[in-house]
Chains A and B, each alone.
Chain A
Amino acid sequence: MIVYIIVALMFFTGLYGIIAKKNIIKIIVGINIVGYASNLLFILLGYKWGGIAPIITEDMTAVYFIEKAVDPLPQALVLTSIVIDLAFVAFLAALAIRLFERYGTFDMDKIRRLKG
């Protein structure tokens, strides 16, 4: 159970970055950290002790493979999620670049003040 608690700590760290920080780069980093924590949680939920990667090789029998392999379904979902995270971060970085060109700062308070 302790691994799940550490994952929750990581999640709250990212959440603190998203909510409390004023710098756009810190917010992007916080979103990334929340993504790390959720991906890691899925992989931890599918792991079994003494498990092997779900890749069958020549020297394995089918029974041994079915007995030992970890859950492939969360791995497939996380594979999708990681790539979407990257696209999301690239989009946020593009938004941050445009905001910096217009306002000359990454600070959310100053951007709010210069509105209009």
Chain B
Amino acid sequence: MTLNLPLLVVLMLLMTGGCVISITARSLTSSVVSMGTAGLILSILFLLLGAPDIAIVQVFVEIVALIVLLSTIRRETRADMSSSGLYGVLTLIIFALFLFVFMLHGSEIVRPFGQPVIKMGAEYIKASPVLLKAPNTVTATVLDFRGYDTLGEATVIFTAIAGVIVLLRIKGRKDE
């Protein structure tokens, strides 16, 4: 499948629209569902940008996150009527100005879209079919060249799941 710039821009604008709706919507359910829409468009974008592994992972993760959030908000039936106060808007403007300056500096060194300089990745692309006999370079990178990263990721996930289990256990302490 070929990718051209208008298609990419249209998909990204659709995704941005989903994000805006999910932040501004009154009902919590429509907010969470719009977030899911944005995530599914993101997985299509990953597929078009030459990253099928990530597209598969994104679809799976999106559905699980949607189920988790929907089961969280089933307790609350009231809509979100909270408006952002003056304090919040001021904080946002200061934050956005800071980030905007950083982004201006970054935009001077970033390469034009579609013409990257591949340094480390080129070594992985060359080495993975020859050294490892692995057809999929991404899998070879995750599991072999950068195996320690994956070990750290597993540690983070283990910690997060342990936290969830501790928070959601049914039995409390006995001395209470």
* Size of interface on A: residues with Cβ below 8 Å to B: 83
Is A47 within 8 A of B50, CB to CB?
yes
Given A33-B23, A70-B49: A25 and B31 interface contact (C-beta under 8 Å) = yes
Who on chain B is nearest to A86 by CB? B61
Chain B residues 135-176 with CB under 8 Å of chain A are: 135-138, 141-142, 146, 149-150, 153, 156-157, 160-161, 163-164, 167-168
Q: Which residue of the partner chain B has the closest CB to A14?
A: B19
Q: Which of B31, B91, B118 contacts A29 (CB 8 A)?
A: B31
CB distance from B143 to the nearest CB of A (A): 9
CB interface residues, A 70-97, toward B, < 8 Å: 70-80, 82-91, 93-97
Cα A82 to Cα B92 in complex, Å, equals 26
Contact status A82-B54, CB under 8 Å: yes
For residue A108, which residues in chain B have a CB less than 8 angstroms away from its CB? 82
Docked complex Cα distance between A50 and B111 (Å): 17
Contact of A49 among B115, B122, B161 (CB under 8 A): B115
Q: Is the interface of A mostly helix, strand, loop or mixed?
A: helix
* Minimum distance in angstroms from B17 CB to a CB of chain A: 10
Q: Cβ of A76 and Cβ of B95 under 8 Å apart?
A: no
Contact B114 A73 (CB under 8 A): no
Known A3-B12, A91-B167; 18 more pairs at CB < 8 Å: A14-B19, A19-B88, A19-B91, A20-B89, A22-B82, A46-B118, A47-B50, A51-B50, A54-B136, A56-B137, A57-B135, A72-B124, A76-B142, A79-B53, A87-B157, A91-B160, A98-B168, A106-B76
Contact A44 B113 (CB under 8 A): yes
Interface of B is mostly: helix
CB of B101 closer than 8 Å to a CB of A: no
Closest to A106 in B: B76
Residue of A nearest to B153 (CB): A80
In-complex Cβ contact of B112 among A1, A82, A87 (8 A)? A1
**Complex: how many Å from CA A96 to CA B167?**
10
Q: Are the C-beta atoms of A13 and B31 separated by less than 8 Å? A: no
* Partner of A16 from B23, B113, B142 at Cβ < 8 Å: B23
**Whole-angstrom distance from the CB of A108 to the nearest CB of chain B?**
8
Which single residue of chain B is at the shortest CB-CB distance from A7?
A: B12
A1 touches B31 (CB 8 A): no
Tell me the bound Cα distance from A28 to B35 in angstroms: 10
Among A15, A17, A44, A72, the residue within 8 A (CB) of B137 is: A72
Q: Is B42 a contact of A13 with CB atoms below 8 Å?
A: no
Contacts of B9 in A (CB 8 A): 2-3, 6
A74 to B65, CA, bound (A): 23
